[in-house]
Structure 1
Amino acid sequence: MSSSNTIIKLADVSFAYGHEAQNALDHVSLAIEKGEFVGVIGPSGAGKSTLAAVMSGAIPHHYTGKLFGATLVDGRDTCEITLTDISRVVGSVLQDIDAQMVAPIVEDEMLFGLENFGIPHDQIEERISQTLATVGISDLRHREIATLSGGQKQKVAIAAIIAMAPDVLVLDEPTAALDPASSTLVFDTLRQINREHGITVVVIEQKVALLSKYCSRVLVMADGKLAFDGEPHQVFAHANELRQMGVDSPRVARIANSLAEAGLLPSDQAPCLNVSEAHQLISSLLADATSKNAPADTPETSPHIPAVPRGTNQEPVVELSDVTFAYPHGGASVSNLNMCVYPGELVGVIGQNGAGKTTLTKLLNGLLHPASGTVRMAGMDTADVPTSAIAAKCATLFQDPDRQLCRDTVLDEVAFGLELHGVGADEARQRARVAAERFGLPLDESPFSLSRGQRQMVALASVVVLDPQVVLLDEPTSGLDYRECMTVMETVSEMAERGCAVIMVCHDMEVVSDFAQRLVVMADGRILERGDANQIFADDALMRAAYVEPPQVVALSKELARDVSPRFAGISQVSDLVDLVKEMLNHD
């Protein structure tokens, strides 16, 4: 059902790429109203990016395939108008930012769209300055795009589209490469242009807590169909169904849903979507119980986080001593880095975009050599041995899996690393087959024909099969759905349990909280602090300095410990918090 206020309408739209038999979109009907802020979630392969392509006119004007139904943009059928006409109404930010960039300098990237759209020259300077300031990247105006971090490129792409003042902005996972504070900044920016300029926003995103905070409406895609469509509280009330689809829910929503399932809340209780709502709910629930219960020891931590760090009584397998490095033409330089990682540890490296985290990983795997100081990997000084010797001990899973895929089939790809390290072809293929089948990968298909999530699994299988002493993960869960994310993290956790040292650069604080034993916090090329994950997250000043926002459960437990009972102090897992609430109510 549409009205004169409808800006985008899909009427029974189905689409299949090329000659594929299966529809990527399957009989989808929906209407987006002017001024809405709509979030789209769903597992990998659900049709989210295809939906964005339909809304932006890339389907039918760029992608070929079988299209049925009608898509209207501002009342006009996208099949009957040009892509340029559609682009004046709908601006889009793609999932692959590098494919969207056309200029070498940030300012030129901004100019390209404005000049092509015929914006008067006397307006261009003001538009560029205002937009760069709005997105918070005025200082990047004269930077070469090639020197920017992934997160900085994302902001440039968003700014370039916003500068052209479209009526609708469609974004495909705009914060996948961003740190928590930058992700919040992007959504603040989107909310600002939505409220102040009336721009309709449709954003595909895996970070459900962000969507629930900013969006007035959430669409859930599954198998090419529209599974749910409603206000965030309504949608996330279906937590179990969403989990079965491979979709996460905000952690505080899980808490409310778990308490309702235990009969401690009405079955129709709306889930909490933020820390404030969860705090109010639990405070009310425990109002009488807490006065009758004396403080007790904090419950044990999640089984994902060992009570005693593994391996710290051994020699470190990774050691950095006063390491300094600077790129010749600028970039995320690092200075005076000191850290040790022990066998069996899973260490999270966190901090803002441009803090030097990826540079740290390149120093560890020998792709970069320190200007001063020493990097020792598995007993080797990385400055004295070839990169191949380091690679035999230290495997890397890059943020973009396409940067480490090069063979024609999945089986060949997973076996390739073993063959490079001298394993015979037959043994390499046998070991590769076991590793690939563990992740349910199609052995004879090209890795590049698979989805983004599956390509990440191929890259992960190529790392796991090497059985390295150290594994480096650079944003291993970026762009993955909930199910894929859990597969990746459970796999690397098993590697740690077998004695592998895991160093993980990650912007998803929920994942870090669930799986990392220790954290290393970076900002401006330096290590600010290192220590136990719960202690690090509890340090508000440190979190602000690193532009990191603590996970929902950590923030909630801290507030509950302050306002309700000290028993909540240090809790970082949904199950632990729910169990404590149950225990306190049972004592009532």
Structure 2
Amino acid sequence: MESSTPIISVDDVSFSYGSDSAPRALDHVSLNIAAGDFLGIIGPSGAGKSTLTSVLSGAIPHHFGGAFYGAAHVAGQDTCTITLTDVARSVGSVLQDIDAQMVASVVEDELLFGLENFGVNHSEIPARIERTLELVGIADLRDREIATLSGGQKQKVAIAAILALEPAVLVLDEPTAALDPASSTMVFDILRDVNERLGVTVVIVEQKVALLSEYCRRIAVMDKGRIVLEGTPAEVFSHAAELRAIGVDSPRVTRISNSLAREGVIEPGAPCLNVAQAQELIAGVVESAGAGRANPVAGASAVGSAPSAPTPARPPHRPARPKAEGAEPVVQLRNVSFAYPTGEAAVQDVDITVYPGELVGVVGQNGAGKTTVTKLITGLLKPSTGTVTVAGLDTSTVRTSQIARHAATLFQDPDRQICRDTVLDEVAFGLELAGIDVSEARRRAQPVIERFGLPAHEAPFSLSRGQRQMVALASVVVLEPEVIILDEPTSGLDYRECMTVMETVSDMAEAGSAVIMVCHDMEVVSDFAERLVVMAGGRVLGRGETHTLFADTELMQAASMEPPQVIELSHALATSVSPTFEGAFEVADVVARTKELIARG
């Protein structure tokens, strides 16, 4: 239950890394967080979100040096006058870089480490560990080596290790960036549970606006080191145009209700924040016009069957790309199986074929085998059975360096592929390895850097997580490879960066590159991928046209996946209001069909 007493108070805080002359990461920030609050923080990359979480956790000023002005109080104590350990007794933090936070090799030991360091009575420790593992849903991982876990599983372990300490405040920096939609929802369910049942104050930096709108009581929007907007989710997301201008997205159903209000179909008011609200709103306006029916209409197609309304044309940025006559596959996996020495994360009997110019999404839960597939394609792993061919090369019989001449990879963690001192040097490095002269490599790198809006002469590791992701992608794009493998390319990116990245990737597919994209953002996949490969348990459950598979309820359930909001909404409306809505895959489709039905009435 939320209290009116602030458990955290940030009073006119400004902070610069290094010295007074450095740019301000925070610029006169004031923020009160009441005990029991559930606050979401959102903003474009470089807005100061992670810096603010460092202030809330005491890492600033105790761990990160710089020029600090103003005051931050936690549980009534000034963070500048108490130790970082004292702050940590009240505030638990889950960092953006999970690997940097892990200290043990086994999951149980990770939880044990914090409990012993904080002096928890040994008689209490077993019960705390048991309770926390069950709470986070990872009891089955108790004896697993952390090195064998997927990124999403590591994230859950990190949250569990902090919750075991029973902090009053939990501060999380993009905890679901590496998680699939179902796991992301589960994390937010856990956070809501500890917030409501245990009274833990939750502060979360997150780019997944649909989750923020559903779970948070308040949202603070940051831009250029300042808090520029604060309020309830409905209040914040009613400012869609202002949010878009600074690089912040809105939930797709919010876009729909805002568009209907802007076009005069409904009265201006609080926007929809979830599918149920959007369904109720549209059903009401359509039925009041006499054009809809409350019950399913004969002929309304079931999800996964042929739509009764014509499928709309692809959006302008993702036109259908017919395969060239007689084109050979550039990537082919035939009856491929692979198992790690531990027996974990195996793939079995995988068949995938990708042609030049295609953009194929590989989707599924954490641990489904998606990243293993990408490693098999790049030759980092060799199949136990079956064959993998890339640009005509059998990956089992050629060196990885030979495959790299045809296929470039963007890893899930950009920091694992950044190794040079400046952005320009980093982006040019791959060309140099391919034998291009240094000056020519830099000349080719410059326009790519400009396209991504990156500072050419700054050190990559001085940039935000999202900007480092774009540096890593720029180093892939500049190579103009035949095959591009993207493992979570939009992780940690703000809306503007996400669109820049995906438009660039789409353009490369237009130019003939085959793009294979592992992605947990179903909205991005729906917007840009032409075909899907749906995986679960190391197997391919389905493959086909993107929107057709997303509309297949049984397939989505089997893969423990959630379809994009618009597809979920359109089917709900087709079965409860009018079959006209079936096959509406874009925000504009739902708005247009709503107006069409009203006009008919």
Q: Which bracket does the TM-score occupy, shorter chain normalised?
A: over 0.9
SS in 1 for 2:31: strand
The answer (yes or no) to whether the contact 2:41–2:205 under 8 Å persists in 1 is yes
Counterpart AA for 2:554: A
The match for 1:562 is 575
The match for 1:97 is 98
Q: CA deviation at 1:409?
A: 2.0
For the residues of structure 2 that align with 1:141 and 1:397, how far apart are their CA atoms? 31
Matched, 1:30 2:31: yes
The answer (yes or no) to whether the contact 2:357–2:512 under 8 Å persists in 1 is yes
2:348 to 315, 335, 351: 335
The match for 1:580 is 593
The match for 1:370 is 383
For the residues of structure 2 that align with 1:4 and 1:243, how far apart are their CA atoms? 32
TM-score, normalised with respect to structure 1: 0.97
CA RMSD in angstroms comes to 1.8
Matched, 1:510 2:548: no
The match for 1:125 is 126
Q: CA deviation at 1:296?
A: 5.0
Counterpart AA for 1:184: T
For the residues of structure 1 that align with 2:203 and 2:408, how far apart are their CA atoms? 38
The match for 1:421 is 434
SS in 1 for 2:176: coil
For the residues of structure 1 that align with 2:323 and 2:243, how far apart are their CA atoms? 34
The answer (yes or no) to whether the contact 2:283–2:292 under 8 Å persists in 1 is no
For the residues of structure 1 that align with 2:27 and 2:425, how far apart are their CA atoms? 34
For the residues of structure 2 that align with 1:191 and 1:296, how far apart are their CA atoms? 39
Q: CA deviation at 1:335?
A: 1.1
The answer (yes or no) to whether the contact 1:55–1:71 under 8 Å persists in 2 is yes
Gaps of 5+ in 1: none
The answer (yes or no) to whether the contact 2:379–2:400 under 8 Å persists in 1 is yes
For the residues of structure 2 that align with 1:309 and 1:101, how far apart are their CA atoms? 47
For the residues of structure 1 that align with 2:182 and 2:325, how far apart are their CA atoms? 32
Q: CA deviation at 1:422?
A: 2.3
For the residues of structure 2 that align with 1:466 and 1:127, how far apart are their CA atoms? 51
Q: Deviations over 1:263-307 (max 9, x none)?
A: 21223x211000000001111111125249997534334234434
Q: CA deviation at 1:317?
A: 1.0
The answer (yes or no) to whether the contact 1:301–1:576 under 8 Å persists in 2 is no
Q: CA deviation at 1:21?
A: 2.8
For the residues of structure 2 that align with 1:311 and 1:401, how far apart are their CA atoms? 33
Counterpart AA for 1:339: I
SS in 2 for 1:336: strand
1:360 to 369, 373, 379: 373
The match for 1:16 is 16
1:319 to 332, 339, 344: 332
Q: Deviations over 1:544-582 (max 9, x none)?
A: 221211111110011011111112112221122222223
For the residues of structure 2 that align with 1:304 and 1:61, how far apart are their CA atoms? 47
Q: Deviations over 1:331-368 (max 9, x none)?
A: 31111111101111111011111111101000001111
SS in 2 for 1:344: coil
Q: CA deviation at 1:309?
A: 4.9
Q: Deviations over 1:491-524 (max 9, x none)?
A: 0000111111110000011111111111111111
SS in 2 for 1:9: strand
The answer (yes or no) to whether the contact 1:147–1:330 under 8 Å persists in 2 is no
SS in 2 for 1:467: coil
Q: CA deviation at 1:205?
A: 0.4
Q: Deviations over 1:514-546 (max 9, x none)?
A: 111111111111111111111211122221221
The match for 1:521 is 534
For the residues of structure 1 that align with 2:326 and 2:271, how far apart are their CA atoms? 44
SS in 1 for 2:533: strand
Q: Deviations over 1:7-52 (max 9, x none)?
A: 1111111111112532211111121111111111111111111111
Q: Which runs of 4 or more aligned residues in structure 1 lie more than 6 Å from their structure 2 counterparts after TM superposition?
A: 292-295
Matched, 1:449 2:462: yes
The match for 2:421 is 408
For the residues of structure 1 that align with 2:251 and 2:90, how far apart are their CA atoms? 32
The match for 1:468 is 481
The answer (yes or no) to whether the contact 1:399–1:474 under 8 Å persists in 2 is yes
TM-score, normalised with respect to structure 2: 0.95
SS in 2 for 1:519: strand
The match for 2:75 is 74
1:375-394 counterparts in 2 under 5 A?
Answer: 375-394=388-407
Q: Kindly tell me: are residues 388 and 3 of structure 1, through their superposed partners in 2, closer, same or farther at Cα, counting changes over 3 Å?
A: closer
Identical-pair percentage: 65
Q: CA deviation at 1:465?
A: 1.3
